[in-house]
Amino acid sequence: MVCNGVWVPDSGASRALDPLLCFAVYSLERRITRLYAELLAPWRLSYLQYVVVTALGGNAGAGLTVGELGRVLDLDSGTLSPLLKRLEARDVVRRDRSAGDERVVVVTLTDAGRALHDELGDVQRCLAERMPPDPQGAAELRERLRAANDFLARHAEPGVTGRREEPAR
């Protein structure tokens, strides 16, 4: 049903979704991403651009290879390459071929990127202020989500759909 211009699921739909962990995580991710979009708007950054700048800024200026950055952010090259290209066009990052191996590309923050990283320091604090006031609970939730993510990364088989094969007739 629609209430004041906003779709609100009926109680039957809500009850059907309540036991689904995946839906709870999905809903939370969407809300947090919207909060980040609002907080990052003054810098015209997307959430993914923000995490790239944060990851590179947290690496003591040493830079990361494209492969390392992809692993850290859990992004494939099809997503990461255009993202880096946009940040490079804005003079936030620099991509250089490794002197030791021309096939390896190292990504570093530019001076403008380091300044941006410093400016973005308050974004996390602003987000925390909009969350429930329970730092201990937030830390526990973050650790549980990391543990679940790590477990799934280690144990999930690529290509598993969860569907049973129909017996051959």
- CATH assignment at residue 44: 1.10.10.10
The answer as to whether 56 is a domain residue is yes
The answer as to whether 104 is a domain residue is yes
The answer as to whether 153 is a domain residue is no
Residue 139 has pLDDT above 90, yes or no: no
pLDDT mean across residues, the chain: 85
pTM: 0.76
Q: At residue 30, what is the residue type?
A: R
Supply the pLDDT for residue 149: 85
Tell me the average pLDDT across 25-38: 91
Supply the pLDDT for residue 18: 79
Count CB neighbours of 39 within 10 A: 19
3-state secondary structure the chain: CEECCEECCCHHHHHHHCCCHHHHHHHHHHHHHHHHHHHHHHHCCCHHHHHHHHHHHCCCCCCEEHHHHHHHHCCCHHHHHHHHHHHHHCCCEEEEECCCCCCCEEEEECHHHHHHHHHCHHHHHHHHHCCCCCHHHHHHHHHHHHHHHHHHHHHCCCCCCCCCCCCCC
Range of the domain at 21: 9-127
Supply the pLDDT for residue 135: 78
Percent of the chain with pLDDT over 90: 49
The answer as to whether 102 is a domain residue is yes
Residue 166 has pLDDT above 70, yes or no: no
Tell me the average pLDDT across 21-39: 90
Nearest to 50 by CA among 109, 106, 94: 109
Percent of the chain with pLDDT over 70: 85
* Cα within 13 Å of Cα(158), Cβ side: 0
Count CB neighbours of 11 within 10 A: 8
Tell me the average pLDDT across 59-82: 90
The answer as to whether 164 is a domain residue is no
pLDDT in tens, 90-133: 999 999 998 888 899 999 999 999 999 999 988 888 888 887 77
What's the Cα-to-Cα distance from 108 to each of 8, 68, 101, 119, 166, rounded to whole Å?
Answer: 45, 12, 17, 17, 50
37 or 10, greater pLDDT: 37
The answer as to whether 135 is a domain residue is no
The answer as to whether 150 is a domain residue is no
The total domain count for the chain is 1
Q: Is the dihedral of CA 137, 140, 146, 152 positive or negative?
A: negative
Tell me the average pLDDT across 77-84: 94
